[in-house]
Amino acid sequence: MNRVWSWLALAVGLVYFFLPLLGTLEFSLRKRKGEYSLDAYAAVFADPAFQATLGYSVLMALLTIVFGVLLIVPTAYWVRLKLPRLRPWVEFVTLLPLVIPAIVIVFGYIRLYNTSSFLPLTGSAMGTNMLLMFGYATLALPYMYRAVDTGLRTIDIGTLTEAAQSLGAGWVTILARVILPNVLVAVLSGAFLTFAIVIGEFTLAALLNRPAFGPYMQLLGANKAYEPAALAVIAFAITWACMGLIQLVTRFSKHTRASA
């Protein structure tokens, strides 16, 4: 009896989740009248705006990841090692982006960093790009911090730090050559998740007027019929690849640890 209900719940879930994917795939192949073709994909890939916006978003995602790692790994390490009393507070701050809607945060950016403010970031394209990158880092903060902090919990950072110090290592060496390699899997998990979030992000990029992939998709959706479905399939493939990579690095690390 129990098992029947379980299969039923699973079946309902499967139907709900696979129909939209199937529908999107089918729709994306319908561009040519009367037969299935890859015309919609060809049109998307040939669009220079597609290449430009996707390239821009990939670059932003990579910069966000680099910045996030440089900011969060030392912070999480330091808080665990020297300031454990601050941990609940830091954790609280890192969870705030889940509570404050992104649209409110970016609204604040626009008002706080306008051309007549103390830090006129929105005055130039470069400044706006930086602001967008910081915004993405804010959105990724909850995921990145939790991933790194969980990674740090599994290693004895106190002993590792003392061992490195007694061998004459400075803080930079300790972080780069002792701590980071030990939490690399956690960092990579956070990084791929950040990539998946940034690549299709719409609200921040649209309101800061940057030529990112999210606003491009929205624009195409308002003007074309079949290309949006093709874009959705591509976006789903990117998300899937990111999650697959997380699984892969996690499994890989378990394997090496088991054989060591």
Q: Minimal distance in Å, beta carbon 106 to other proteins?
A: 8
Q: Minimal distance in Å, beta carbon 34 to other proteins?
A: 15
Q: Minimal distance in Å, beta carbon 103 to other proteins?
A: 5
Q: Minimal distance in Å, beta carbon 251 to other proteins?
A: 10
State the SS3 of the chain: CHHHHHHHHHHHHHHHHHHHHHHHHHHHCCCCCCCCCCHHHHHHHHCHHHHHHHHHHHHHHHHHHHHHHHHHHHHHHHHHHCCHHHHHHHHHHHHHHHHCCHHHHHHHHHHHCCCCCCCCHHHCHHHHHHHHHHHHHHHHHHHHHHHHHHHHHCCCHHHHHHHHHHCCCCHHHHHHHHHHHHCHHHHHHHHHHHHHHHHCCCHHHHHCCCCCHHHHHHHHHHHCCCHHHHHHHHHHHHHHHHHHHHHHHHHHHHHHHHHC
Identify which of residues 70 and 163 has a Cβ nearer to other proteins in the complex.
70
Q: Minimal distance in Å, beta carbon 56 to other proteins?
A: 15
Work out the widest C-alpha separation in the chain, in whole angstroms.
74
Identify which of residues 82 and 177 has a Cβ nearer to other proteins in the complex.
82
Identify which of residues 74 and 151 has a Cβ nearer to other proteins in the complex.
74
Identify which of residues 84 and 260 has a Cβ nearer to other proteins in the complex.
84
Q: Minimal distance in Å, beta carbon 62 to other proteins?
A: 18
Q: Minimal distance in Å, beta carbon 82 to other proteins?
A: 4
Identify which of residues 86 and 160 has a Cβ nearer to other proteins in the complex.
86
Identify which of residues 6 and 51 has a Cβ nearer to other proteins in the complex.
6
Identify which of residues 56 and 260 has a Cβ nearer to other proteins in the complex.
56
Cβ contact 215:205 at 8 Å: yes
| Contacts with 185 (C-beta within 8 Å, 6 or more apart), sequence order | 151, 249, 250, 252, 253
